[in-house]
Structures are given as structure tokens and as C-alpha cells.
Structure 1
Amino acid sequence: MSGDGDMTDFDLPIDRHSTGSVKWNRYAGRDILPLWVADMDFRCPPAVLAALHRRIAHGVLGYGEPSAGLLDAVTGYLRASYGWSPPPEALVWLPGLVVGLNLACRAVGAPGDAVISATPVYPPFLAAPRLAERTLARVPLRQAADGWRWDFEALERALTPRTRLLLLCHPHNPVGRAWTPEELRQLLAIARRHDLLICSDEIHGDLILEPGRRHVPLALIDPAFAERILTLMAPSKTWNLPGLGCSFAVIPDPALRRRFRREMAGLVPPVNVLGLTAAEAAYRDDGRWRADLLAYLRGNRALLRDWFGDSRRLRWICPEATYLAWIDARAIDPVDPLPAFEALGVGLSDGRDFGCPGFVRLNFGCRRALLAQALERLAPLR
């Protein structure tokens, strides 16, 4: 349901072939269902589509900038959703969250310094330090029976005097953990002891699937540390707007914000007017569409839980957040199991890209009938 009173049918088939879709073009002309990149197959909320139609009808698509209305929508959303009230001047608008990761690595420290992160992790976390002439230290997460965990002792051992920045994925992509306040407090304690700054990617924060759980921005865990945190957010995952390229950083510290903006100069274009329009509409929507989406994703997650419960060779830990399933397929192939899935007509993300050979990632942000079809195809691997 949306603010316009229209019901969204998440079971509605939508043909994305021949639409320039990165997701669907990967296997064009092949009978392979694409369940890889984090791009849902659902229509945007009606309120967002209506706002875009009005903007197009205006007829002029010139250079844009964030309006007072957009700033009000975002700050109001952060306040209502999390009880977080960063000042409007702390927001820096970006044409994509990956841009923010790369800028953070450039804005903190100097060439030759180190950045640390936990693996497996979203691939740009692994690439951004190298592109910024920083070294990357990887700390593997621990796979426990009830979920993935930080290895805090290993994290501290991996730190050096040249480590300047911790890249945090919160909630975590691909393992689907929604980190608890206690886990985040432990991270902050380590960061304080070692004088680290933290870049917290919170793009999946509004996709918590566990009933009763709520996303807590890292910057709220310890207000005394908040000025050493650079938070990255976007409407793109929650409201399915990735093609419009609109995200923002929340950087309370003016000096860090100046360094961040300096790295943007001459390289980072402004957000396009349609991205800005869609973002404002998404953050102003009444929340019913997102509630319906979360209910649908929980249904898809339940389907996966039942399917994996009967599997002898494929293992997973049920995600607490995101619409992504991280699958241990080392029993199929300890290095590269992806071809076995593609041979059965299902295209997933390769775990090696996340720093974890032998795993694959499945995007269940799709019609339930399509997900069921994919699982039927994968039956020989169970």
C-alpha cells in the first residue's frame, strides 16, 4: 500500500527483458533466472512513481540540487524512524553509495595508510581502499550455528599504527546480520582505543526482517563518538530506486566533511533531478508500502528456510535483514560452485567477489513464483 492509496501487487509478473536491466541482461538469451545483483523486481511505490510523473510532466530536466523539501523529508524520516537528528548541513548528497565508500577511503588518512573491514563483504569494500592507494586488512567473520559474528580479537590483532579507517556494513551484506547494539559498542570501543574513524554503510537499514527488531544507526550508539563516524544511506534498496543514483553521507564533523567534499571536487557529479525527486517522495511516503514489502520478503525468506531445512549439501543461516541469502556451497565446489547453479538455470552472485570462495549469494527480492521456480531447478544440488 502507498501514500496514494494504491495497492502494490508484489506477485505481479513484470517483464524486464529489453529494458537495459543489468540484472536481466547478464543471462540474456539463456534460460537462467537472474537472482544475483541486489536489485528487486518490484515496481517502486506508487507515491514515488506519481512524483516522477509530475516531474516529467513539468518538461524541464535541468541541473538540480537538493531542495528544502528534500532536506526536510530526509531529516524528518531519520528523526521519526530512528530518533536521530543530524543537522541538515551534515548531509552530503552523492550519485551512489559506492561513490561514498571510495570517497571515505580517500578522505581519511593518506596513501599507504590502512583500511580494515570484515569479510565476506560487499565487493566495493574490497576495491575502494586499493583505488585510494590504501592497503586493506581483511578480518573474517566467524560462522556460528546461530549466525555470523565478529571476531573482535582478530580485529584488534589486524590493526596497525597505520590503520585509519574501519569500513562497516550495517546491516551486513551478504550475511544478513543486523548487528546488535552490544556488538556495535564493542566495535566502537576498539575504534576508540586505536583512534579509528568508521564509515558505516547503512543502505539496508530499513530492511530488517526480524519482527520486533529495529535498525539503530551506529552514530546513535555512542554520541561522544559520533563525529568520528561517516554514515552512508540511500533510498535505493528499500524503495527499489538503484537506477536513479541518489544517496547521501551524514558527516557531522566539519573538518571531515570538508576533506570529503574536497575529494569530490571535479570528479563527482551532482545527483540528477529525477533521483532527488524520487528520494523526497520515498522519504515522505506513509510507510505502508514498505510494510507490505517487508511482509512479502519475510514470506520469501520462509520459503527459503523450509527449502534449506531439507538440504544436505547447501547450508545457510537465515538472514535477519536484507533480501539476500548467503549460501555455503562448498560441498558442491570449495572454490567456484557458481557454474553448478548456472547449469541448472539459476544465476547467483559469486562468493569470491565478496572475499569468500565456495559461497554464493541469492537475491530473494523477486516474485515468490519465480523464487519457487528457481528452487525447483536447484533440487539436484540439495
Structure 2
Amino acid sequence: MSPTDFDRLIDRRDTASQKWEKYRDQEILPMWVADTDFMAPPSVLAALHERVDHGVFGYTNTPATLNERVCERLQRRYDWTVSSDQLVWLPGLVCGLHLACRAATEPGATVMTPQPIYPPFMSAPRLSEREMLTLPMVRDNGRLRIDFDALEQAITPATRLLLFCNPHNPGGTVYRREELEQLGQIVLRHDLLVCSDEVHCDLILEPGLEHIPLASLSEELAARTITLMAPSKTYNIAGLGCAFAVIPDAQLRRQFQRVRKGIVPDVNLLGYTAAEAAYADGDAWNEAQLNYLRGNRDYLVEQINALPGLKLDPIEATYLAWIDVSGAKLENPAHFFEQAGVGLSPGRDFGDDRFMRLNFGCPRAWVEEAVDRIRRGLLNSLPA
């Protein structure tokens, strides 16, 4: 079967898959953690086979060709000029959030983050012994976005860092240029630093929308921004642990490097190998994946909104559906869906227990099966 056959049902049981092991020996479809059930691109598989056949797996430096490829990619896709020395390679995005809190602030400083948000955004400040301030987001014409007025009003003299996510997880919002410019003006006006998680930048589903890195808006804003990116979500290679930070400001970059030294390991050689192959030859594969994901998304939006008590707004990016379950009046939403046979991510982990997050980065047959199970569960819960 071809790696671009997204309908292929790949058995991930007994492979130590975090996603599938959670419900081992249970009749529950795992649709929670953000990895897909698609085979990685052919170029990635070929590069990994070649590297394994080489047979030596010693300590590895970042390949100069990978740095060059990333810089070329950022220039080509976003008109964003980045030099190799501004890249810091990491074994994942989450450690980047933690390092940003430690590098950009002192103990006791305030770190701001919107909510709902990917859980490490909320744990990183606390584990870094920083004060955390969460900002409720607003739903604007079906889009979940930062309330910029509330953001500016909440800033205090102790506020130093904003953790930002674009495309937003959960909800899939793609921030428009004018919104990013408004955010940038607030950042500059209040002398803030920003850590911008842009790991889902290559997963824009809505035609006509584009990803714009916050740091690409101006050199002044770039000097205040740590941008986090990775090929992991796009090409389903998260298990290989390869990500990078773009930190244009030399002093901030040195501080970031200092706090990671001896604690955060380097990327492993297979992670580098997969990343370079994905960025070199993975664009056509990703276009096919995006078309498939759009079909899954459209099906899911139509079907979920036809179910009693559930609501799903349009999804602009990512393969993660943020489902409003408040109308179903469920006492324990996570348990309800597991009982129905579908394992979702509880909204309470993201800061809003009215929602559940569903990963539709999987074969359509599983999406259809999940909808059928949810439908039966809801109908069985209605009073006789």
C-alpha cells in the first residue's frame, strides 16, 4: 500500500504507541493526543532506511544542510529572512515553552497565556516558578481568538512574557495579518517578550488563509520573539523528537541556550534525518494530506452539528476538532465519550470543561465509526 493512501487502516496496537496504549484491550477508538494515524511521507521513510542501513548511530551535530533548508523554507513560504545562527534545535516543542519561561523572565515574573490552550502552556510557567495569568478567549463569528482589549488591560509591571499559539490549539484559529499587527503593537507598547508556538503552521485547511509568523512582521518584533516550529505534526514524526526555535535576538538566544545546557538533550540523528527529508520533499505529500483532512473536517462538522447537544465551529487549521458539548448536559463528558467507545481529550485539561477535543487525523472509516458511536451514545442517554 502507498504511504499516500490515507484510507489505509494501520494497526498501531502492540507498537508502544502512546495514543493506542491508553485504551489497550478496550473497545475505544483513540482520538485524543495530536498524532495522526497516517504513514509518514515516502521521502522520510526512504531517508530513514538509508540512514539505518549506514549502521552507525553516534553523537550527531545538526546537519548544515538542514539549517540551510529551514532558512530557505521560511524565506520562500513566509518572506521571512532567518539565518542559521538564529536556529536552536530542540527534541520537542514542550521543552521550548519551558525554556522560554526560564530564559525570558526572572522568578516571580508574570507569564500570560490565553485560555483554552494546549496544557503545557499552563504548566510551563508554574514549573518555572513564574506567576501565570490566563486570559479567557472570545468566540468571534465561530473563531476562537485572543481578546486584545482584555489582554492589554491585564498587563501589569510584572508582566514579561506572553505565550502565544498560532494556529491556535485547540480550535484551529489562523490569526489574520491585522490581528497579528494588533498583537504586535501591544507587545511593543508594553515591552513584552513572546514565545509563539507555530507547530501547526503547515496544516492550514481553509482555502485562502495563510500562516504568518508573528516574528516576520518586523525586525523590532522579531527581536522580542521566540518562535517554535517542527515537522512533527505535519509529517507524523513526533516520536523522532525534532523541533527548532527561531530566536533572532542574540542576547535572548544566549540566555535560551544557557538555561537548556546540560538539561535538554540534543536532537537524535534519526530526528534530523526525518526532518530534512520532510522539508526537502514532503510538500506534495502534505498537500494530499491536507485535501484528505479537509474531507474529514467537512464530514465531521456536518455530522457533529446534527447531533443533539453538540456544536462544532468551522476549523481553519490543524486536525483537531474543538467540540462544544455543553448542550448535552453531560455530568462527566470524558467518561461519557469513553463509554460510547471514543477516547477524546477533555476540555478541562485545556481550561474549558464545556468542550472535548477530537483528533480527526486518521482514516475516514474511523471518523465515521466515531460519529456513529457518539450518535448511539447520545441517543441512549436521552430519557425514554
TM beyond 0.5: yes
The equivalent residue for 1:215 is 211
User: SS of 1:248's equivalent?
Assistant: strand
Amino acid in the other structure paired with 1:172: H
Alpha-carbon offset, residue 286 of structure 1: 5.1
1:346 aligns with 2:342: yes
The equivalent residue for 1:231 is 227
Amino acid in the other structure paired with 1:96: G
The equivalent residue for 2:197 is 201
Alignment partner of 2:296 out of 296, 300, 303: 300
Alpha-carbon offset, residue 309 of structure 1: 3.1
> Which range moved further: 361-370 or 75-84?
75-84
Deviating above 4 A after TM superposition, structure 1's stretches of 4 or more consecutive aligned residues are: none
Report the TM-score, using the length of structure 2 for normalisation: 0.96
The equivalent residue for 2:382 is none
Deviations 1:253-307 (A, max 9, x none): 0000000000011101110000000000011015110000000000000111210
User: SS of 1:331's equivalent?
Assistant: helix
Amino acid in the other structure paired with 2:153: R
1:91 aligns with 2:87: yes
The equivalent residue for 1:121 is 117
Alpha-carbon offset, residue 336 of structure 1: 3.5
Q: Is 2:235–2:278's contact at 8 Å kept on the other side of the alignment?
A: yes
Amino acid in the other structure paired with 1:155: L
**1:154–1:334: structure 2 CA closer, same or farther, 3 Å change rule?**
farther
What is the distance in 2 between the residues matched to 1:333 and 1:123? 24
Alpha-carbon offset, residue 36 of structure 1: 0.3
**1:60–1:25: structure 2 CA closer, same or farther, 3 Å change rule?**
same
**1:72–1:131: structure 2 CA closer, same or farther, 3 Å change rule?**
same
Q: Is 1:336–1:358's contact at 8 Å kept on the other side of the alignment?
A: no
Q: Is 1:119–1:355's contact at 8 Å kept on the other side of the alignment?
A: yes
What is the distance in 2 between the residues matched to 1:78 and 1:149? 25
The equivalent residue for 1:158 is 154
Alignment partner of 1:280 out of 276, 281, 293: 276
What is the distance in 2 between the residues matched to 1:363 and 1:154? 30
The equivalent residue for 2:70 is 74
Q: 5+ unaligned residues in a row in structure 1: which ranges? A: 1-5
Alpha-carbon offset, residue 154 of structure 1: 1.2
1:324 aligns with 2:317: no
> Which range moved further: 228-237 or 184-193?
184-193
Q: Is 2:3–2:40's contact at 8 Å kept on the other side of the alignment?
A: no
Alpha-carbon offset, residue 138 of structure 1: 0.4
Alpha-carbon offset, residue 349 of structure 1: 0.1
Alpha-carbon offset, residue 80 of structure 1: 1.7
User: SS of 1:237's equivalent?
Assistant: helix
Amino acid in the other structure paired with 2:76: A
Q: Is 2:114–2:137's contact at 8 Å kept on the other side of the alignment?
A: yes
Alpha-carbon offset, residue 330 of structure 1: 1.5
The equivalent residue for 1:265 is 261
Q: Is 2:3–2:39's contact at 8 Å kept on the other side of the alignment?
A: no
Deviations 1:21-46 (A, max 9, x none): 00000000100000000010000000
1:11 aligns with 2:7: yes
1:31 aligns with 2:21: no
The equivalent residue for 1:251 is 247
What is the distance in 2 between the residues matched to 1:149 and 1:127? 21
User: SS of 1:106's equivalent?
Assistant: helix
Alignment of 1:42-57 (within 5 A): 42-57=38-53
Alpha-carbon offset, residue 332 of structure 1: 3.0
User: SS of 2:235's equivalent?
Assistant: coil
Alpha-carbon offset, residue 223 of structure 1: 2.9
What is the distance in 1 between the residues matched to 2:299 and 2:192? 41
**1:325–1:87: structure 2 CA closer, same or farther, 3 Å change rule?**
same
User: SS of 2:99's equivalent?
Assistant: helix
> Which range moved further: 168-177 or 223-232?
223-232
Alpha-carbon offset, residue 7 of structure 1: 5.9
What is the distance in 2 between the residues matched to 1:210 and 1:358? 25
Amino acid in the other structure paired with 1:357: D
Alpha-carbon offset, residue 146 of structure 1: 2.5
**1:81–1:260: structure 2 CA closer, same or farther, 3 Å change rule?**
same
Alpha-carbon offset, residue 242 of structure 1: 0.4
Amino acid in the other structure paired with 1:209: L
Deviations 1:73-107 (A, max 9, x none): 21122122212220110000001010100000000
Amino acid in the other structure paired with 1:254: A
Q: Is 1:334–1:358's contact at 8 Å kept on the other side of the alignment?
A: no
The equivalent residue for 1:3 is none
Length, aligned pairs only: 378
Alpha-carbon offset, residue 333 of structure 1: 4.0
User: SS of 1:252's equivalent?
Assistant: coil
Deviations 1:208-236 (A, max 9, x none): 00112211111112333211111000000
> Which range moved further: 45-54 or 224-233?
224-233
Alpha-carbon offset, residue 335 of structure 1: 6.6
What is the distance in 2 between the residues matched to 1:191 and 1:24? 41
What is the distance in 2 between the residues matched to 1:67 and 1:340? 48
What is the distance in 2 between the residues matched to 1:145 and 1:286? 34
How many percent identity over aligned positions?
Answer: 54
